[in-house]
Chain A
């Protein structure tokens, strides 16, 4: 053993310092870029909303809040928003739970079909639900016109129903995941102890899925509270807070009052997000490596009942796009039902330009979104820089900001001559950044999870062989990660194609996107053309899903989730 004093080797020292600064430099540079982008496109807009809500003619103060809260109309709207969201959230979660239960815990046939059909609302702007409901049950709907019924769907019930359909797939995805895992040993114990199926459901199934139920309630509730597409199309004289922002800002130019309602809308979203976090953090891992997966046993009666239920739900979810498709292909709904392609000529407004804008924006969002989400995830997961902590907080912040509020924030922040990025205002680029950061949280979480699954020993092996961070990323990490990233790209693409509320304030005639066109056409009463536009959006989204699924299938990556 030697205890000799270390002697310095100047040459080796300087070389090593240089390499150290280059890897460290890349880490710091990327962290700083990510933090900068988040500050500009996330923190600044949210800050702008908060500031603007406090901005009164008499200086900064709570005057706008006082004014709003003193108005009895505000309280009516608040009650409307909360009651309609509570109802649609309860309905969506209840119906989706039974549907997910049927798919996960029974032997109903055609499960892949049943699964994809209820995903349809994700492929279209939210207001397509309202559109379809009107075509079915509205004044000129199929039931009233052709079957002699006399429904009045406008108002509370219409909005509640449309939001139920719109939020159903979100609830279904969460509940389906919660019901997918189960430990057969617990069920076998319960059976051997003499528990009847009803008791087993109450004492085993329900408690095991209560976190999923809570998460589904929160997600569907915040989606309903902050959605305005359905409310504006089918609400009639029934207004909610989300439509009120639209009226205040677009109709009356009252930005400060709009900002106040934005802050109010932020509250339920943030609260339900915090509760969801709290609850899910208490959830223990139910499955251990000793768990035995539950297998479904044969039971004809159960399968028959649940199969009937699934069929009914499936018919509803097919009826909506079905009636919209029908309306898009007839001369003049409901008066002239002759088959026609004329509505696909798009000889209105800007023609097909909004559609191509949307495709362009969605592709750009996918590309930029994947890049930003991946770099953020790497910066947070792999580089330990002083910025990692704040970045990981900011990265998941957007999940609690309603799209409409973020969109309003963009208007307030960027339509301001004092902002050097003012020239982005009115461009598609700003819309792309809005979509990227609006959907950043989910994309970041998916990427992070995948990144964590790539063993850190690959990084270490690469380092020991002399590879720098960039070589490791391009030669090792990226080839392992790309199927996930493609999935994240599809997620961004879909959301950018169908999101309405986030961009509604940013639209100019030059930057019209398809979802907004549907709204404007529906608003003008151009029912058939609105339907044709909706069909085009759905067709593009489904085509994208099919193409990516094919690419993944050819590459042998079959287990990537595309619909989230």
Chain B
């Protein structure tokens, strides 16, 4: 069943943590709440979990309104950031906890616990206490514990942020694999855009308690609607355009776009800016001077100044050997009309 959130608002004293949040999590999908710290993503997750009460709005699971169902009766599984395994219980006892709460029979619990520990590849760790396991193992147990009672929704609150890079990478793949195998509707909170891009079917970008944009990773990257989304997901050059609706100019040059512009801010991804050979042409051609070149091995990051708009610096990348691309060099840069993104 889909999870639908409508008109959710949550205030802490005078600060508004969530303001009129409306969104949908399709059944069986993995949705990431992405945003900088303090954007409200964790609050949104906690309201959906029932650990916080919203001031207004509704949370629907299919046709059932869960807004007034206490957290313990929502049947949602949660994996917290870290250290939420009960330290006095073994891995198996932790996994069994939710089943005991649901009064499963001893035999059923035994079978389910074994099944779950196998799912996260920790069959041999069943009698270990959390303190005897690594951080990655603890989070695997936490995932097994959350999934054991067949929750209708799995909530992951920055589950990887306390782990070191290599383990994080591994667990990222594993969480996604388990999620897809079980087909469980999942929401994950993260501030790491790579995590979101790699794992999510749908990314919900939050900023200052509002949803900036929601969609697939590809849609957000290709068609960011706001400057915030464009800058948060990937890198982008932003330019201020004069007379966007009537006669768009970037500095002294006329700017060609595939669709008429609505706002005066446009964005161009670094990889969309091409160094043109003498005979090459493009929709938009800018004469530029390289100001700084930073060699990064597989590519060189170039900072340049456009002659048409010297006050609006531009950053782009050159892949492969970038001989001769050094400070002071003059060159022609080409940008296709379709790569100019209209940002609100």
Could you tell me which A residues sit within 8 Å of B by CB distance? 1-9, 12-13, 15-17, 19-20, 23, 455, 457-458, 460-468, 471, 475-476, 479-480
How long is the Cα–Cα vector from A458 to B87 in the complex, in angstroms?
9
Q: B68 in the interface, Cβ–Cβ < 8 Å? A: yes
With contacts A1-B23, A12-B64 taken as known, whether A464 is within 8 angstroms of B87 at the C-beta atoms is no
Instruction: Find out whether the CB atom of A465 lies under 8 angstroms from the CB atom of B97.
Output: yes
Chain A residue at minimum C-beta to C-beta distance from B2: A2
Chain A residue at minimum C-beta to C-beta distance from B86: A476
Instruction: Find out whether the CB atom of B84 lies under 8 angstroms from the CB atom of A457.
Output: yes
As a 0/1 sequence over residues 78 to 98 of chain B, the CB contacts with chain A under 8 angstroms (1 = contact) are: 101101111111000000011
Instruction: Find out whether the CB atom of B214 lies under 8 angstroms from the CB atom of A1.
Output: yes
With contacts A13-B65, A464-B76, A466-B73 taken as known, whether A4 is within 8 angstroms of B97 at the C-beta atoms is no
Instruction: Find out whether the CB atom of A462 lies under 8 angstroms from the CB atom of B78.
Output: no
How long is the Cα–Cα vector from A327 to B300 in the complex, in angstroms?
92
Q: B6 in the interface, Cβ–Cβ < 8 Å? A: yes
Chain A contact residues: over half helix, strand or loop, or mixed?
A: helix
Task: Write out the residue numbers on chain A whose beta carbons fall within 8 Å of the beta carbon of B114.
Answer: none
Instruction: Find out whether the CB atom of A467 lies under 8 angstroms from the CB atom of B101.
Output: yes
With contacts A7-B63, A460-B84 taken as known, whether A19 is within 8 angstroms of B73 at the C-beta atoms is yes
As a 0/1 sequence over residues 1 to 29 of chain B, the CB contacts with chain A under 8 angstroms (1 = contact) are: 01010100000000000000011100000
Q: B149 in the interface, Cβ–Cβ < 8 Å? A: yes
Q: B67 in the interface, Cβ–Cβ < 8 Å? A: yes
With contacts A1-B24, A13-B68 taken as known, whether A465 is within 8 angstroms of B63 at the C-beta atoms is no
Q: Which 6 A-B pairs have the closest CB atoms?
A: A465-B98, A6-B58, A466-B101, A16-B69, A9-B64, A479-B88
Q: B338 in the interface, Cβ–Cβ < 8 Å? A: no
Interface centre among A4, A16, A464, A471 (most CB of B within 10 A): A464
How long is the Cα–Cα vector from A429 to B63 in the complex, in angstroms?
57
Please pick, from A13, A17, A464, the residue contacting B77 in the complex, using a CB distance under 8 A. A464
How long is the Cα–Cα vector from A463 to B145 in the complex, in angstroms?
13
How long is the Cα–Cα vector from A475 to B98 in the complex, in angstroms?
12
With contacts A1-B23, A4-B6, A457-B83 taken as known, whether A464 is within 8 angstroms of B88 at the C-beta atoms is no
Q: B72 in the interface, Cβ–Cβ < 8 Å? A: yes
How long is the Cα–Cα vector from A23 to B77 in the complex, in angstroms?
20
Instruction: Give the distance to chain B from A480, nearest Cβ to Cβ, in Å.
Output: 6
Q: B49 in the interface, Cβ–Cβ < 8 Å? A: yes
Instruction: Find out whether the CB atom of A466 lies under 8 angstroms from the CB atom of B78.
Output: no
As a 0/1 sequence over residues 188 to 223 of chain B, the CB contacts with chain A under 8 angstroms (1 = contact) are: 000000000000000000000000001000000000
Chain B residue at minimum C-beta to C-beta distance from A457: B84
How long is the Cα–Cα vector from A19 to B66 in the complex, in angstroms?
14
Instruction: Find out whether the CB atom of A480 lies under 8 angstroms from the CB atom of B87.
Output: yes
Q: B175 in the interface, Cβ–Cβ < 8 Å? A: no
Instruction: Give the distance to chain A from B241, nearest Cβ to Cβ, in Å.
Output: 29
With contacts A19-B72, A476-B86, A479-B88 taken as known, whether A464 is within 8 angstroms of B64 at the C-beta atoms is no
Instruction: Find out whether the CB atom of B4 lies under 8 angstroms from the CB atom of A458.
Output: no
Q: B177 in the interface, Cβ–Cβ < 8 Å? A: no
Task: Write out the residue numbers on chain B whose beta carbons fall within 8 Å of the beta carbon of A23.
Answer: 70, 72
How long is the Cα–Cα vector from A458 to B69 in the complex, in angstroms?
20
Instruction: Find out whether the CB atom of B68 lies under 8 angstroms from the CB atom of A17.
Output: yes
Q: B102 in the interface, Cβ–Cβ < 8 Å? A: yes
Q: B226 in the interface, Cβ–Cβ < 8 Å? A: no
Instruction: Find out whether the CB atom of A466 lies under 8 angstroms from the CB atom of B51.
Output: no
Instruction: Find out whether the CB atom of B101 lies under 8 angstroms from the CB atom of A2.
Output: no
Q: B71 in the interface, Cβ–Cβ < 8 Å? A: yes
Instruction: Find out whether the CB atom of B24 lies under 8 angstroms from the CB atom of A2.
Output: yes
Instruction: Give the distance to chain B from A22, nearest Cβ to Cβ, in Å.
Output: 10
